Amino acid sequence: VDEIASADSSVNKRPWWVREVDKPTIEIDWSKTSSLPFPQEGCHLPPLLAEFVGWDRVNSAMAQGVAALNAGAKKTGSKEAISLLDTSMQEAAWPHFIAHAGWREPVYPALEGAAPIPELVGQTYTHESFGVPRWESTPEENFALLKSAMRFFGAGQIASIELDANVKSMFYPVDASRMFFNGPPMAYGFEDCDNGYVTDTHFIIPNKARWVVTYTTPMPKEM
């Protein structure tokens, strides 16, 4: 950990003539800028489709899709065949099942209505879990350590931005991440608390949180 923290602290390798600044070249009028209602963007998500056609048709279509995928892989040589290569590529990009805690959870379960959603927030071991003091260093070394960990997990460009009023105003009114599991969208909220937590309707972020880490994931241009 100490070696990682003391490594090259530069985040993104850029040409010498490129500068990173706090404000973009074109001034932004934050009073006229608002966030996008993200859940209304992803109309392919089951809960949004269900608003138009009902859960019966959505669940039926998902079940037919999985059945067709399994059947197509076995029809080698026919027009209905789905090659193992295509299937493998799809499963690698977005699997029908996610391995979690030793069991396989269907990504699109054919259930009546919304599916139960596993809560992943708070599952990571912390220094309190082990009964030891937390690791602390300078902000620069902390960010270098975080950068190295994120690069290990596949992140490309990594940066941080201060969580001020302008940034808070750009948070999605509701977050659609749970909708991938047929769950309801969640809203964001800010409170005076020590640690963030999750309710049935909100992701709560402590007001004392000062920084947001942003990142991109590199993808093949051919795809």
Which of the four pLDDT bands, split at 50, 70 and 90, describes residue 134?
Answer: confident
SS3 206: strand
Least confidently predicted of 22-31, 86-95, 212-221:
86-95
The number of residues in the chain equals 223
Structure tokens at 197: 């937590």
Find residue 158's DSSP bridge partners: 215
Averaged over 17-32, what is the pLDDT?
81
Q: What is the SS3 assignment for 162?
A: strand
Chain segment 48-58, per-residue pLDDT in tens: 777 788 888 87
Is pLDDT of 96 > 70?
Answer: no
> 117 near 177, Cβ under 8 Å?
no
- pTM over 0.75, yes/no: no
- In this predicted model, which residue has the larger pLDDT, 107 or 198? 198
For 69, the token pair is 């995928």
pLDDT digits 0-9 by tens, 116-129? 444 544 555 567 76
Q: What is the pLDDT of residue 105?
A: 42
> Is residue 80 helix, strand or coil?
coil
163-219 confidence digits (pLDDT tens): 999 988 888 777 766 665 556 678 888 999 988 888 888 889 999 999 999 998 888
Share of the chain above pLDDT 70, in %: 56
Q: Identify which of 168, 181, 170, 179 has the alpha carbon closest to the alpha carbon of residue 40.
A: 179
Contact 158, 215 (CB under 8 A): yes
Task: Give me the chain's average pLDDT, please.
Answer: 71
The per-residue pLDDT for 149 is 83
